[in-house]
Structure 1
């Protein structure tokens, strides 16, 4: 019988071939699917794991004074970052190093404890980003990068530097470590200063190291430079004299403001205490206050020129009007307003020279009820100034449906309202500008902003002339400046405590204008709580005004206006007045 040609081995082989062909077909189909259909998806996924787009920090705009002197500049620094996830992914069986060895090398080059660094990497084990050191000099960054620790890279950042230090700190402010404005102009003008960051795309390996960059996809745009109205020559001068006065009189704090009366520009704004924005390790919260726009006080007798202005503007009074102050006091029920003596019948100029509370009260009470209040408001009291400084307060200018006579009287000589140093300087600048009010600004102005006439020109001129007598023969003698005519007014105010006025704590004030014949500058000096034997405005604040204003007029080349025969002036520091409210 003939044997069959069929062999079991050949059947099994066909099955193997068949399965192989099917598997190959499946694999080919999958490859086709991945290479053609899923090409874009897989490419994107790969790029997501290997290609990164980082932000390129933009250089922050500089803050400059009016003459171009830098007050805030950005310097390039390097920040060291790590990828803990990449470090812990090291495999001792495949890689030439271990996570522990890398941490040891990194701790050595950074000069830190290994245990501390190990703990940081342990805590951030699952993260791909961690700061190691921020904003360090280039040479330190190069030393760390030379160690070539796995997952450790550097990135460029900018650090803010303030050349003027504490002298301009309250105006300029500062940024945080992320270069974001926190105080002062750094905060107020953050959108303009910060610029627009760029974008950089690069390729990295599995360990997080940058292999190559693809170039700038989007270049950064530097921030805009800002020119302040501040003149650092005057700023340094005012800061030095104010600091010396605070030290001499053991005062708690102080502030001073100088304004250009024609443009409304703030040429100097200084405070005590201050701080160094370049070293914030010892800064206390109270030092950050820009007291010139934040701290409130009752302006006291420095408001009397405005009450006189309201009287003259009303038409009920003229420069020759006489007020009878006898018997030297004025009673409102249980409330008594007093002068230092019985001055009898005095004219308006003498009202300011003697700083008569009685006369000022009688004048205010004789006017329409809201006359004084309306002028105060028009001058800017009770509302913030146009500078819009961060944290600025508007003060308090009370209004009543029906005024009690005592309320009108006390308001007329500066009690019952509160103001800032800048607000008071703004009001005196209006007098100096012959009643024309221009917007106050901390930005350099090419031309003055639109203003308004809030005091009749002839009235303002007459009041400035009356204030000259205060400096010539009244409580403001210490404000005299050789070669210049000066107009001003002193003020000494009891501080308000928890239980009312504190009769052993004072605020010393002087507000003045120079040169009086053609005013250019207005300045206010406020010294809070002087603790020495001298505490009157004429003793404490007026001498500061004299020294600073003399330097400012000389620096700005303002010609002297005092007649030759009157150049020898008395600069008496002691003033023999003992009535606090009047002086």
Structure 2
């Protein structure tokens, strides 16, 4: 039996396969689209919810900015609250180079407004075309009104920001003590540098939204508030500072000297009441100032102290018991050998007691005293008074001085040290050492901050300190070397000094004139040191010495200081005698002038009569 083919059977199987392929393709395409949709949804969730911070920051960076909020430095005042350094608001002009470079035609206008060369300004902007910030040349810390005039020109990309500038009401009189700040208002020298962290404060910050031209359209958030700097009260008295500066200048001009310094300390507290230096500088105009003029010579310059060391040499001998106040010292014939040289006096003073050695400032006398002392003992005595080490004032750049240890002394060094050579000190160190003598042998580290008193150290027996003070008093009385330092109504203790300046391994015919003193002797209040550098020696005689040049500075400055501080006189008898003598002279002058005044009308009448007769 034969079977035939089923009609149409060949076509049924291909249709089934086609239907199957279409369904699979639809499922594949639908699955792919669904997968893509899931990826897109996941990515959207990631962008919007999970990892949105990065992209938000990218978006914000185009419009959101964090701007600093300027803050002022703390004010510096003197001990009485008078301002010595204050911060005043100013403005600084800046530009967005990316915006400004798109308007080259306005750069010429901007250059004319700020006084700059147009080509140079255009080059400066082009060099920073990829930046968003640049200060306009010469437009930092200018007057706010000047800045506003330029901003009012509406030049694209040009803006103003508030800053502060330091102002010093006392000018050059206090420039060396206060120092100055740089263009970013950071302390650079002096008190401004020493207390920069205290004075500076901390700028704030705020978030703002800017439009495409850089203009602020909305304040978004205060990131942190500005914290102004803290105020600082110094120990300086601006009135005493003015006196010290004025009298120092007068002395330098009169003597033809090249420089000078003076320091005034409160004996009981160690507070620096005044510190003057010349040449000086204007702290508001620093560009043309010689850097040498900015140096605070009173704390940075090292000098051989000359005869101002002699009271300490005497005190060392009294402490060691090798001499007593009545000890007789033979200074004949006015010199003694000093190696290849001589230690000489101004003239032959013959036999002197210890007080006379200081009164006459005998080099020979103190040289003989120091020979009675062991080297180590004399060295340790000077170290106790702060020589060869910093005073601890904290002033930037303070020098420690120079004092060799005994192991390095040669055969004549101790002898020359007894009258102030072969060692070096600063004027501040001298003032501190003398303050210790006036403070009953108690040494106090100096301070520039009111009320910041350091602990006193007993470096000398009070009785010996008082004895040396009485000896130094004779220096300013008749017969002494510093009568020009005497102050009517007050006992003054002091010591002159005239040291030759070292030069080329030896000593030149150039000098430094000193006077160091204390007043009043009965209850010392002030220690003062005056240093006049390189006075004119062409006048001859002793016109370049400390007693002639520096002592009058002490007198003039201290007379005003004692009056300002209401210090009562301790020499009433002399003051009353002077007043009585002045009154006698006034009456005598009035008596001599009385007959002349009485006869004047008679003479006048006679002249009228004579004229009428003619």
Could you state the TM-score of these two structures normalised by the residue count of structure 2?
0.85
Q: Does 1:390 align with 2:396?
A: yes
Q: 1:545 aligns with which of 527, 551, 554?
A: 554
Q: State the distance in 1 between where 2:249 and 2:267 align.
A: 25
Partner residue in 1 for 2:603: none
Q: Helix, strand or coil for the counterpart of 2:544? A: coil
Partner residue in 2 for 1:575: none
Shift of 1:41: 2.6
Structure-to-structure mapping, 1:168-567, within 5 angstroms: 168-401=174-407, 403-445=409-451, 448-472=453-477, 473-502=479-508, 504-532=509-537, 533=539, 534-565=543-574
Shift of 1:257: 0.2
Q: State the distance in 1 between where 2:118 and 2:195 align.
A: 43
Q: State the distance in 1 between where 2:574 and 2:146 align.
A: 67
Shift of 1:315: 2.0
Partner residue in 1 for 2:160: 154
Structure 2 residue runs without a partner (length 5+): 1-21, 579-614
Partner residue in 2 for 1:131: 135
Q: 1:347 to 1:52 in 2, by over 3 A?
A: same
Greater RCO (CA < 8 Å, at least 6 residues apart): 1
Q: State the distance in 1 between where 2:298 and 2:514 align.
A: 13
Q: Helix, strand or coil for the counterpart of 1:396? A: coil
Partner residue in 2 for 1:8: none
CA offsets 1:347-372 (integer angstroms, 9 cap, x no match): 11100111111111111111222222
Could you state the TM-score of these two structures normalised by the residue count of structure 1?
0.89
Q: State the distance in 1 between where 2:524 and 2:48 align.
A: 83
Q: State the distance in 2 between where 1:153 and 1:111 align.
A: 17
CA offsets 1:34-71 (integer angstroms, 9 cap, x no match): 44454333212111222111222221111111111111
Q: Helix, strand or coil for the counterpart of 1:374? A: helix
Q: State the distance in 2 between where 1:397 and 1:308 align.
A: 18
Q: State the distance in 2 between where 1:402 and 1:156 align.
A: 60
Contact 1:109–1:147 (8 Å) recurs in 2: no
Partner residue in 2 for 1:81: 94
Q: Helix, strand or coil for the counterpart of 1:148? A: coil
Q: State the distance in 2 between where 1:403 and 1:113 align.
A: 65
Contact 1:357–1:413 (8 Å) recurs in 2: yes
Q: How many residues align?
A: 543
Between stretches 129-138 and 419-428, larger displacement belongs to 129-138
Q: 1:107 to 1:405 in 2, by over 3 A?
A: closer
Contact 2:90–2:163 (8 Å) recurs in 1: yes
Q: Does 1:116 align with 2:120?
A: yes
Q: State the distance in 1 between where 2:232 and 2:545 align.
A: 39
Partner residue in 2 for 1:102: 106
CA offsets 1:195-220 (integer angstroms, 9 cap, x no match): 11111111112232222112422101
Q: 1:222 to 1:28 in 2, by over 3 A?
A: same
Contact 1:150–1:209 (8 Å) recurs in 2: no
Q: Helix, strand or coil for the counterpart of 1:168? A: helix
Structure 1 residue runs without a partner (length 5+): 1-10, 91-98, 570-583
Report the aligned-residue RMSD.
Answer: 2.2
Contact 2:488–2:574 (8 Å) recurs in 1: no
